Structure 1
Amino acid sequence: MLALAVELARYPFDGGAAYSAERRSKTCGSTVALSFEAGLANIGLKVTACAVGQASAAIFARHCEGKSKDDIVQSADAITAWLDHGEPLPDWPDLHLIAAARDYPARHGAILLPWKAALDALSSGEEGR
């Protein structure tokens, strides 16, 4: 998990990107700010979170490019079902690397932060057009 956290340096946040949003977990106080261009390209992250939240953000960043809003919604719903109801591990590459965190409900909010922030950014970008 710590190796994933270090990987975040590959994704510098860009305050001038076409899309950006910040999300805060109510359960643990972790925050994720992300920026990106159309098609979830050139993602940038600013993460203040535990190792689980940092790892989740890195996993999101590794595999989000080219995803649609519907893809992100479906993934977020599947991750929520996995975390809350024991559904099978969602089909998002590398998510298995943080699977052990499912046993810690206080970390569930941090796991979902990148998906929620991306949806916020995509929604605000649509409203602004």
Structure 2
Amino acid sequence: MSGENDLIKLYSGQILQLAASIPHTDRLTSPDASVKKRAPLCGSTVTVDLVVQDGCITQFGQDVKACALGQAAASVVGANMIGRTRTEVETARDALKVMLKQDGPTPAAPFDGLEVLRPARDYKNRHASILLALDATCEAIEQADQANCA
């Protein structure tokens, strides 16, 4: 029963509030790149559309079909994606992985709101869902950069 209580505590009010207020949920009509990622263990999916100009994300849209933890991560990510560079997005993704897998430091601002997901580090089966929004954004910005350079 203790494990079930721990899982209930994981879904804090702050996580549920973030999950209920995901920004940029409209898909873009003419994105530079669009990437859909799926967490194989739970089936959560996130699709990211973006437009990149001069190395920065200028438009961002996401379709999130994930658990509350994946939704909370997508909420923090979406709220901070406009104006970010590829390096900033990759750094945030890598920092989130280290925070979850090795109890590392919180990702730097503006992604420091991901700290709310630190309690999920003990639930390895939830990590892929939490990482979906950043994983999809990293792949999309890489594709957009390649398309813009071609």
Superposed CA deviations along residues 40-62 of structure 1, whole A, max 9, x for unmatched, are 23311111110000110011001
CA contact (8 A) 1:22 1:33 kept: yes
| Structure 1 residue identity aligned to 2:100 | L
Deviates more, 1:24-33 or 1:48-57: 24-33
Alpha-carbon distance, 1:33 to partner = 0.3
Aligned length: 129
Report the AA paired with residue 69 of structure 1: R
SS at 1:46's partner residue? strand
Partner of 1:76 in structure 2? 93
Question: What corresponds to 1:109 in structure 2?
Answer: 128
Secondary structure of the residue that 1:34 maps to in structure 2? strand
Distance in structure 2 (CA, Å) of the matches to 1:9 and 1:95: 15
- In structure 1, the gaps of 5 or more residues are none
Query: How well do the aligned residues superpose, as a CA RMSD in angstroms?
Result: 1.6
Paired letter, 1:63? N
SS of the aligned residue for 2:83 comes to coil
Out of 106-115 and 89-98, give the one that drifted further. Answer: 89-98
Q: Contact conserved, 1:40 with 1:66, CA < 8 A, in 2?
A: yes
Residues 45 and 66, structure 2, Cα contact 8 Å, conserved in 1 = yes
Letter in 2 for 1:61: G
Runs of 4+ aligned residues of structure 1 deviating over 6 Å after TM superposition are none
Structure 2 unpaired stretches of 5+: 1-14
Q: What amino acid is the match of 2:40?
A: K
In structure 2, the CA distance between the partners of 1:86 and 1:98, relative to structure 1 (3 Å rule), is closer
What secondary structure does 1:74 align onto? helix
TM-score, normalization by structure 1: 0.89
1:122 is aligned to 2:141: yes
